[in-house]
Chain A
Amino acid sequence: MDFQSLIIISIGAIFVSNFVLNRFLGLCPYIGVSKQLDAAVGMGMAVIFVMSMASIVTWGIYHYFLTPAESNLLFKLFLGGKGKPPDLTYLRTISFILVVATLVQFVEMVIQKVSPALYRSLGIYLPLITTNCAVMGVAILNIDAEYNFIQSVVNGFMSGIGFTLALVLMAGLREKLELANVPKAMQGVPIAFIMAGLMSLAFLGFSGLSF
């Protein structure tokens, strides 16, 4: 197991290519849920779980059902392992999004049972994790970067942590911002975006890291 590549992936996912502040994935919940710290932490936990599970399942689907390789299960079952394996990679988008939608439904049911208060405080943003660019984005980025299974899982998990980090930082700042004297036109979303821009500028400092 190549630990160095895993550490590079982790540092990259949390700091250098932070999902929110650098890759612009996961912005809708970022602007919507980051007003209170507890809702932000709860949302972050849900997203970490969904991103890790989605990385696992979508990697499996891509490498065992879609790729034109000998390991393709559909190839083995239906064509008996003879001839050329079919190239089903164009089904990537459809299969991934359906997997993510199912996962989010499952997480929603679990949260509703385990912690109804958290469920109520997250409101509409919990089912919106389905349309969250971050979850679908990490699945596709794993495939594009051609990570193996362990690397994909680590990338999914660490990207979730990076997202949660940005979310929690933003929530803390916005709680303080309630007491500040913001011009009327900039109140609410505009000043949140400017703050995100400043945070993004700070995180840009990580881009010089090398090993």
Chain B
Amino acid sequence: MSLLKEFTKGLNKENPVFRLMLGLCPVLAVSSSVNNAIGMGAAATFVLVCSNCVISLIKGFVPAKIRIPIYITVIATFVTIVELVMAAYAPELSKALGVFIPLIVVNCIILGRAEAFASRNSLISSLIDGLGMGFGFTLALTLIATFREILGNGTWLGYPVFGSSFEPALMMILAPGAFITIGFIIGFLNWLDHRKAAL
């Protein structure tokens, strides 16, 4: 598959959140504001790209029976790096994301791509695949966060969108809003697919 296809498949056709249904926990938890969403997306993309590269490099040396613990250790190392760097250089983001930064290590997307792709493909393909999936993840996160922040807070990235008379729907930035938003987005994507199939 051409490298461009590798990258773009992560954005729509194999979008990890909306199509593959992976990595849902941080998506719903962190998408209450676009700022947090982009921060989490960047962190997860970094871990995904680095672990994809390393696992692609060591794929010839890893015995099949213990490959999962080895992948987990590689991923956990990069997550620890991100944890410490974030705590040092972006402390407010680190506090806002809270427990979900170390939880990047159990993000199904990263282990899933390592197992399904990086362990079988070249370094460059794995890097591009990691970038594509990471961008797709960030895109999905930002989309959901856009809905939740605009409706639930009246702002986007902190800038007010409506006038001062807007009464935000507080529910949207709380837990139920996350579930309902992602339910409607996946339903809408399903509807688009059915229409394309019917044509």
Segment from A1-9, A23-31, A39-47 that makes contact with B: A23-31
Contacts of B183 in A (CB 8 A): 186, 189-194, 196-197
Contacts of A24 in B (CB 8 A): 24-26, 28-29, 175, 178
Task: Please tell me the number of chain A residues within 8 Å of chain B, measured between CB atoms.
Answer: 45
Q: Verify if A61 is at the interface (C-beta below 8 Å from B).
A: no
* B interface with A by C-beta (< 8 Å): 21-22, 24-26, 28-29, 68-69, 72-73, 76-77, 79-80, 83-84, 98-99, 102-103, 105-108, 111, 171, 174-180, 182-184, 186-188, 190-191, 194
Mostly, the B contact residues are: helix
- When the two chains form their complex, are residues A200 and B106 in contact, meaning their CB atoms are under 8 A apart? no
Cα A201 to Cα B103 with chains together (Å): 25
Q: Verify if A97 is at the interface (C-beta below 8 Å from B).
A: yes
- When the two chains form their complex, are residues A136 and B182 in contact, meaning their CB atoms are under 8 A apart? no
Cα A186 to Cα B188 with chains together (Å): 8
- When the two chains form their complex, are residues A189 and B105 in contact, meaning their CB atoms are under 8 A apart? no
Cα A27 to Cα B80 with chains together (Å): 23
Cα A183 to Cα B98 with chains together (Å): 37
Segment from A64-72, A88-96, A146-154 that makes contact with B: A88-96
- Which residues from 118 to 164 on chain A have a C-beta closer than 8 Å to any C-beta of chain B? 128, 130-133, 136-137, 140-141, 144
CB proximity of A45 to chain B, nearest CB, Å: 21
Please give 9 more A-B residue pairs, beta carbons under 8 A apart, in addition to A93-B83, A185-B188: A90-B84, A94-B73, A101-B69, A133-B26, A136-B102, A140-B99, A186-B190, A197-B176, A200-B176
Contact among A21, A22, A137, A201 with B99 in the assembled complex (CB-CB below 8 Å): A137
- Which residues from 158 to 211 on chain A have a C-beta closer than 8 Å to any C-beta of chain B? 183-187, 189-194, 196-198, 200-201, 203-204
Closest to B31 in A: A24
Q: A93-B83, A93-B105, A194-B179 are in contact. Are A144 and B99 (CB under 8 A)?
A: yes
Q: A90-B80, A101-B72, A189-B186 are in contact. Are A25 and B25 (CB under 8 A)?
A: yes
Contact among A131, A183, A191, A200 with B111 in the assembled complex (CB-CB below 8 Å): A131
Q: List 17 A-B pairs, Cβ < 8 Å.
A: A28-B24, A28-B25, A90-B84, A93-B76, A94-B80, A128-B108, A133-B26, A133-B106, A136-B103, A141-B99, A184-B194, A189-B186, A190-B187, A193-B182, A194-B180, A196-B183, A203-B175
- When the two chains form their complex, are residues B72 and A97 in contact, meaning their CB atoms are under 8 A apart? yes
Contacts of B188 in A (CB 8 A): 185
Cα A98 to Cα B73 with chains together (Å): 8
- When the two chains form their complex, are residues A31 and B190 in contact, meaning their CB atoms are under 8 A apart? no
Contacts of B73 in A (CB 8 A): 94, 98
Cα A22 to Cα B29 with chains together (Å): 9
